[in-house]
Structure 1
Amino acid sequence: MNRFLSITLFYRPLFLIPFMMVNMMAAQDTLTTVVAKKGDGILSLLRKQGVDPYDHYDDFIAMNVDNLRDSVHLYAGRKYLIPTPGAEVVEVVEELEDTSKKVKKVEGTEYAIFGKKHSLVVNKSNRLNNTVYYLVSGHGGPDPGAMANYGGKMIAEDEYAYDITLRLAKELISHGAMVYIIIRDENDGIRDERVLEIDRDEVAYPNKIIPLNQLNRLKQRVDIVNNLYKEHKGKYQRLIVTHVDSRSIGQNIDVFFYHHEKSKNGRKLSESIHTTFQKKYEKFQPNRVYSGTFEDRSSLYMVKKTHPAMTFIEIGNIRNKKDQRRILDPDNRQALAKWISEGVLLDYEK
Structure 2
Amino acid sequence: MKYDIFTIVFFLLLSVFGFSQDSLRTVLAEPGDGILSLLRKQGIDPYEVFDEFVSLNHHDLRDSVHLIAGRAYVMPHMKVDTVAIVDSLQIQAKEVKEIERESYAIFGEKYKTVIAKSERLKGTVYYLVSGHGGPDPGAMGMYAGKAIAEDEYAYDITLRLAKELMAHGAKVYIIIQDENDGIRDERVLEIDRDEVAYPDKKIPLNQLARLKQRVAIINDLYKDNKGKYQRLIVTHVDSRSENQNIDVFFYHHKHSKNGERLAESIHKTFGAKYKKYQPNRTYSGTFEDRTSLYLVKKTHPAMAYIEIGNIRNKKDQVRIVDPDNRQALAKWISEGVLLDYEEE
**Which residue of 290, 301, 305 corresponds with 2:294?**
301
In structure 2, the partner of 1:137 is 130
Pairing 1:27–2:22 present: yes
Please state how far the C-alpha of 1:98 moved relative to its aligned partner.
Answer: 11
1:173 aligns with 2:166: yes
- Is it true that 1:280 corresponds to 2:273 in the alignment? yes
Evaluate the alpha carbon distance shift between residue 144 and residue 276 of structure 1 in structure 2; reply closer, same or farther with a 3 A threshold: same
What secondary structure does 2:27 align onto? strand
**How many residues are treated as equivalent by the alignment?**
325
Letter in 1 for 2:22: A
In the alignment, which of 301, 306, 311 is matched to residue 313 of structure 1? Answer: 306
1:211 maps to amino acid: P
Pick aligned residue for 2:54 from 35, 41, 61:
61
**C-alpha separation in 1, matches of 2:112 and 2:90:** 34
Kindly indicate whether the alpha-carbon contact (under 8 Å) linking 1:147 and 1:156 is maintained by their aligned counterparts in 2: yes
Identify which of 101, 107, 110 aligns with 1:108: 101
Question: 1:7 — aligned with what?
Answer: none
> Partner residue of 1:9?
none
Structure 1 residue runs of 4+, over 4 Å off? 22-25, 96-99
> 1:49 deviation in Å?
1.5
The aligned residue for residue 78 of structure 2 is 85
Q: 2:5 is matched with which residue?
A: none
**Which blocks of at least 5 consecutive residues in structure 2 are unaligned?**
1-10
Aligned to 1:195: 188
Quick check: 1:182–1:221 contact (8 Å CA) kept in 2? yes
**Aligned twin of 1:268:** 261
CA distance in 2: counterparts of 1:191 and 1:274, whole angstroms? 26
Other-structure match for 1:206: 199
Aligned to 1:13: none
Structural mapping, 1:231-246, within 5 Å: 231-246=224-239
Instruction: Please tell me the residue identity of whatever aligns with 2:193.
Output: R
Name the residue aligned to 1:41. Answer: 34
Describe the shift of the 1:49–1:103 C-alpha distance in structure 2 as closer, same or farther (beyond 3 A): farther
Report which of the two has the higher share of helix. 2
In the alignment, which of 142, 148, 152 is matched to residue 141 of structure 2?
A: 148
TM-score by length of 1: 0.88
Shift of 1:47: 1.7
Residue matched to 2:246: 253
| CA distance in structure 1 between the aligned counterparts of 2:160 and 2:305, rounded to whole angstroms | 17
Q: Deviation digits for residues 73-122 of structure 1, max 9, x if unmatched?
A: 1112221111112459x9xxxxx9899xx776222110000000000001
Distance verdict in 2 for CA 1:209–1:26, change over 3 Å? same
Which residue in the other structure is 1:333 paired with? Answer: 326
| 1:274–1:97 distance in 2 versus 1, CA, 3 Å | farther
- How far the C-alpha of 1:300 sits from its partner, in A, is 0.3
Aligned equivalents of 2:304 and 2:18: distance in 1?
47
For 2:243, give the aligned amino acid.
G
> Contact conserved, 1:134 with 1:179, CA < 8 A, in 2?
yes
Given residue 42 of structure 1, which amino acid in structure 2 is its aligned partner? I
**Structure 1 stretches lacking a partner, 5+ long:** 1-15, 91-95
- How many Å apart are 1:321 and its aligned residue? 0.8
**Are the equivalent residues in 2 in contact too, given 1:239–1:308 (CA < 8 A)?**
yes
User: Partners of 1:183 and 1:325 in 2: how far apart?
Assistant: 24
Q: TM-score, normalised by structure 2?
A: 0.90
Distance in 1 (CA, whole Å) between partners of 2:171 and 2:303 is 16
Contact 1:51 1:84 (C-alpha < 8 Å) held by counterparts? no
Return the letter of the residue paired with 2:191. I
Partner of 1:8: none
Structure 2 CA distance for aligned equivalents of residues 133 and 157 of structure 1: 22
Contact 1:126–1:176 (8 Å) recurs in 2: yes
